[in-house]
Chain A
Amino acid sequence: MGNMKKFFILSLLIFIIPLKSFSLIEVDITRGNLNPLPLAVSPLSIDDNSRKNFKRILDKENIGIAISLIVENNLKTTGLFNPLNKDAFLQAPDIANLKPRFEDWNLIKAQALITGKVDYVDEKLRVEFRLWDVLAAKEMMALAFTTVPNNWRRVGHIISDKVYERLTGEKGYFDTRIIYVAEEGPKTKRIKKLAIMDQDGANNKFLTLGNELVLTPRFNPTSQMVTYLSYFRNLPRVYLLDIETGMQEVVGDFPGMTFAPRFSPDGKKIIMSFAKDGNSDIYTMDLENRIVEKITNHPSIDTSPSYSPDGKFICFNSDRSGYQQIYVMNSDGSKVKRISFGNGIYGTPVWSPRGDLIAFTKLHKGKFYIGVMRTDGSGERLLTENFYQEAPSWSPNGRVLIFYRETKTDADGKGFSAKLWSIDLTGYNERKIKTPTDGSDPSWSSLLSN
């Protein structure tokens, strides 16, 4: 009995003591400001000899400043960071990289600081950079890269990715490229070429001559391969293009209307819709053995298929309910389920690389919207509204969408344009992407380096 009592007391103590000793005042902080984080990007320091060598090779007056500007621009476009004006910086770049005077950076309200150094070593570019937490007065990250001098822009993008990941907790999307359809000429007689550029609009290159119509280029999520649709003797033809080598390959000719070929997440198949016997269904093609498999079998029009990142599901459009809506099914075509139920019609669903959302275009009362919903159709959010816009494509981290927007033609048939735009998931950070010509149908690559 005595033992029982002791046991009882001990048990009580176990529960009572922690309760009392942790009776702290607790205050719940459930709100904060959504202002971009103030951050200072100090120019990367460079010695005189290295500066002269890079000027000779790259024709850049100061490569350290040029790289830091790329980092600054990338971080600014995210809407998550506010790079501070360099005129306010009190500490010289070389000293700041060795040991920042945190009180100086604190004074200009910087919460994070990026410093670095560029060297010319054995005809290569060596860049080191550090990320500092100004308020905690500590180094958060330090890395160094060596590469050929011509890769200097990529170094800027890689630094941006590393900083972004360290400060946001998710991967960046700066060391990536965008393939799109470059357009020129009047609306009724457009010349369309495949074009590729860095995600910030630099290094634009045309990949086709514009003799034939090209449509819907899509990146392979695992490599730098692209699939797209072109017309050969008025027949739709699906192509594969290796961006690295420039090699092009015909995957196949398909009858009737063929739409939007897209890779599976492992890059081994393409999925598309085409019309056979007057009915449009979804098909896959194994790129190794070229076997075509029918996935949907319904008298309605099924188009725009897109795989979930794990390859287990497919989202697509169908008008089987009377109006075009978004559906999700297993990758073998079973268990088809409608997920969009809002007013209007829905199209171009694209599964986020993060797996949590599906982006879409919506037409309602004459306006076009780009929006996102969860994969079960709940939580629909419209991010942007315009006269005409469509074809969203995800950044590799599933945070930003790129799409294209057309302007209205005036009474004289003039004023038409098509431009690429991006918007992030908050819906506030909308930006026009600079391209040398008009552009449509953009597709975002995966990260070039990991």
Chain B
Amino acid sequence: MPEDNVKKVEKKKDDTQNPEKIDNEVKQVSEFEKEELFDPNNIASLIDKSKEEAASTIKKTDSVTQDKMKNLENTGLSLSEEDALKAQIFGCWSIPLGLPYDENLLVRIKLELKPDGSVVKSEILDHARMNMPGQGFYKVLAESALRAVKLCQPLRVPTTGYERWKDLQLNFDASEMLKG
């Protein structure tokens, strides 16, 4: 049964993931948070209470830090808020069924949200894994998670406390579903 082989003559274009762009976004977010929430020098002073000259700095920064601490203590969504969000995303996430169920199938996506729950920015936290050889399944899973976020938006977020949840991390884990 001779058949002429089909020749792959050209690869027109690789996939258009753009790691550089997303890497920049990661940096921006980290720097922004670092600047707003913490000043390493001030915290050093805060801890080093024996330093006389740092006392004023401690006082100056203490109030800011306390406010932030209050926020950090209250960061979690209430159970009903979390359930509402989960239920929405469950419906939007088409899990790719072809994935191997014995692999690490966790994709972490960090979102920056608008007050109405629409997504300003989404980034995959383990982005380097996307283009690693032998990790094709991770890329597929990450893309499916991004599709779910896009499909679902605006996300079902609480009506109050925007500062609390404007940055949100979704951990997509398919292993439970794929193991059956």
Residue of A27, A33, A170, A381 near B94 (CB, 8 A) is A33
Task: Name the residue of chain B whose CB is nearest to the CB of A242.
Answer: B1
* B16 and A28 contacting across the interface, CB-CB below 8 Å: no
Chain B 69-92 per-residue mask, 1 if CB under 8 angstroms from chain A, else 0:
000100111000010011001111
Q: Which residues from 435 to 450 on chain A have a C-beta closer than 8 Å to any C-beta of chain B?
A: 448-449
Residue of A135, A142, A143 near B151 (CB, 8 A) is A135
- Bound Cα distance from A26 to B93, whole angstroms: 17
- Bound Cα distance from A166 to B139, whole angstroms: 9
Residues of A within 8 A of B15 (CB): 139-141, 166
**Taking A33-B91, A34-B177, A142-B12 as contacts, is the C-beta distance between A21 and B30 under 8 angstroms?**
yes
* B171 and A29 contacting across the interface, CB-CB below 8 Å: yes
State whether the Cβ of B170 lies closer than 8 Å to any Cβ in chain A. Answer: yes
**Taking A141-B15, A143-B11 as contacts, is the C-beta distance between A31 and B6 under 8 angstroms?**
no
State whether the Cβ of A322 lies closer than 8 Å to any Cβ in chain B. Answer: no
* B8 and A28 contacting across the interface, CB-CB below 8 Å: no
State whether the Cβ of A165 lies closer than 8 Å to any Cβ in chain B. Answer: yes
* A426 and B102 contacting across the interface, CB-CB below 8 Å: no
Residues of A within 8 A of B4 (CB): 147-148, 150-151
Q: Which residues from 122 to 168 on chain A have a C-beta closer than 8 Å to any C-beta of chain B?
A: 128, 130, 133, 135-136, 138-148, 150-151, 154-155, 158, 164-168
State whether the Cβ of A384 lies closer than 8 Å to any Cβ in chain B. Answer: no
State whether the Cβ of A291 lies closer than 8 Å to any Cβ in chain B. Answer: no
Residues of B within 8 A of A107 (CB): none
State whether the Cβ of B40 lies closer than 8 Å to any Cβ in chain A. Answer: yes
State whether the Cβ of B52 lies closer than 8 Å to any Cβ in chain A. Answer: no
* A26 and B169 contacting across the interface, CB-CB below 8 Å: yes
- Bound Cα distance from A244 to B3, whole angstroms: 8
Chain B 30-66 per-residue mask, 1 if CB under 8 angstroms from chain A, else 0:
1001100110100110011000000000000000000
**Taking A17-B38, A17-B40, A136-B147 as contacts, is the C-beta distance between A168 and B72 under 8 angstroms?**
no
* A168 and B96 contacting across the interface, CB-CB below 8 Å: yes
A120 to chain B, nearest CB (A): 15
* A34 and B97 contacting across the interface, CB-CB below 8 Å: yes
Q: How many residues of A contact B (CB 8 A)?
A: 69
A30 to chain B, nearest CB (A): 5
Chain A 164-189 per-residue mask, 1 if CB under 8 angstroms from chain B, else 0:
11111110000000000000000000
Q: Which residues from 9 to 38 on chain B have a C-beta closer than 8 Å to any C-beta of chain A?
A: 9-13, 15-16, 30, 33-34, 37-38
Residue of B110, B144, B177 near A24 (CB, 8 A) is B110
Task: Name the residue of chain A whose CB is nearest to the CB of B103.
Answer: A169
- Bound Cα distance from A182 to B97, whole angstroms: 33
* B171 and A27 contacting across the interface, CB-CB below 8 Å: yes
Residues of A within 8 A of B85 (CB): 27
State whether the Cβ of B180 lies closer than 8 Å to any Cβ in chain A. Answer: yes
Residues of B within 8 A of A34 (CB): 94-95, 97, 177
Residues of B within 8 A of A166 (CB): 15, 140
* A170 and B176 contacting across the interface, CB-CB below 8 Å: no
* B94 and A25 contacting across the interface, CB-CB below 8 Å: no
* A20 and B173 contacting across the interface, CB-CB below 8 Å: no
Task: Name the residue of chain B whose CB is nearest to the CB of A129.
Answer: B12
SS of A interface (majority): mixed
- Bound Cα distance from A20 to B71, whole angstroms: 11
- Bound Cα distance from A122 to B147, whole angstroms: 41
* B139 and A169 contacting across the interface, CB-CB below 8 Å: yes
State whether the Cβ of A332 lies closer than 8 Å to any Cβ in chain B. Answer: no
State whether the Cβ of A366 lies closer than 8 Å to any Cβ in chain B. Answer: no
The interface centre, meaning the residue of B15, B77, B85, B94 with most chain A CB atoms within 10 A of its CB, is B94
The interface centre, meaning the residue of B1, B11, B85 with most chain A CB atoms within 10 A of its CB, is B1
Residue of A5, A37, A133, A244 near B96 (CB, 8 A) is A37
**Taking A244-B1, A381-B180 as contacts, is the C-beta distance between A21 and B37 under 8 angstroms?**
yes
* B16 and A139 contacting across the interface, CB-CB below 8 Å: yes
Chain A 1-26 per-residue mask, 1 if CB under 8 angstroms from chain B, else 0:
00001000110110011001101111
**Taking A13-B44, A449-B5 as contacts, is the C-beta distance between A29 and B11 under 8 angstroms?**
no
- Bound Cα distance from A36 to B148, whole angstroms: 14
Residues of A within 8 A of B136 (CB): 165, 169-170
State whether the Cβ of A35 lies closer than 8 Å to any Cβ in chain B. Answer: yes
- Bound Cα distance from A185 to B82, whole angstroms: 64
* A5 and B48 contacting across the interface, CB-CB below 8 Å: yes
Residue of B40, B76, B86 near A13 (CB, 8 A) is B40
State whether the Cβ of A80 lies closer than 8 Å to any Cβ in chain B. Answer: yes
Residues of A within 8 A of B12 (CB): 128, 130, 142-144
**Taking A25-B164, A27-B169 as contacts, is the C-beta distance between A80 and B97 under 8 angstroms?**
yes
- Bound Cα distance from A245 to B140, whole angstroms: 39
Task: Name the residue of chain B whose CB is nearest to the CB of A13.
Answer: B40
Chain B 126-165 per-residue mask, 1 if CB under 8 angstroms from chain A, else 0:
0000000000111111011111101100000000000011
4 closest cross-chain pairs (CB), A and B: A168-B98, A32-B93, A169-B137, A169-B140
Q: List 24 A-B contacts (CB under 8 A).
A: A10-B44, A13-B43, A21-B34, A27-B82, A27-B86, A28-B171, A29-B173, A30-B176, A30-B177, A31-B176, A31-B177, A32-B148, A32-B177, A135-B146, A136-B143, A140-B15, A141-B15, A151-B6, A154-B6, A166-B15, A169-B139, A244-B1, A426-B180, A449-B8
Q: Which residues on A are within 8 Å of B, measured CB to CB?
A: 5, 9-10, 12-13, 16-17, 20-21, 23-37, 78-80, 111, 128, 130, 133, 135-136, 138-148, 150-151, 154-155, 158, 164-170, 196, 205, 243-246, 354, 356, 381, 399, 426, 448-449
Other than the known A27-B169, A29-B173, A79-B97, what 20 A-B pairs have Cβ atoms closer than 8 Å?
A5-B48, A16-B43, A20-B68, A25-B75, A25-B169, A30-B176, A32-B144, A36-B94, A136-B143, A136-B146, A142-B11, A143-B11, A150-B4, A158-B6, A169-B136, A169-B138, A170-B100, A243-B1, A381-B180, A426-B180
